[in-house]
Amino acid sequence: MIKRSEILMLGLSAGVTGSLVGGMMLGLGIALVVAGANIGWLLLLPAAPAGGLAGWVLARRLAREAG
């Protein structure tokens, strides 16, 4: 059985990890786009889905441990 504390830790770690990954990709992508490098769009556009991917991976790991 999954405990309430495990779900809380999953939410906290997914939020922090997702924010760090997505925020860094967003910041670097915007900096490159503003500087005139079109390669920045490759970092800018997938920033939010990449941040959510971290939470999905953590949730899958918790589900595998529980069952």
State residue 62's pLDDT score.
80
pTM of the model: 0.74
DSSP 58: H
42 is a domain residue: yes
The set of residues, in sequence order, having a beta carbon less than 8 Å from that of 62 and lying 6+ positions away, is 2, 6, 7, 10
Tell how far CA 8 is from the center of its chain.
17
Q: What DSSP string runs through 14-38? A: HHHHHHHHHHHHHHHHHHHHHTT-T
pLDDT grade for 66, boundaries at 50, 70 and 90: confident
* Contact predicate 2/66, CB 8 Å: yes
pLDDT one-digit tens code per residue, 1-57: 778 888 888 888 888 988 899 899 999 999 999 999 999 999 999 988 888 888 888
Domain range holding 58? 13-66
Q: Residue 60's pLDDT is what?
A: 86
Residue 1 located in a structural domain: no
Total of domains in the chain? 1
Question: Which pLDDT score is estimated for 1?
Answer: 75
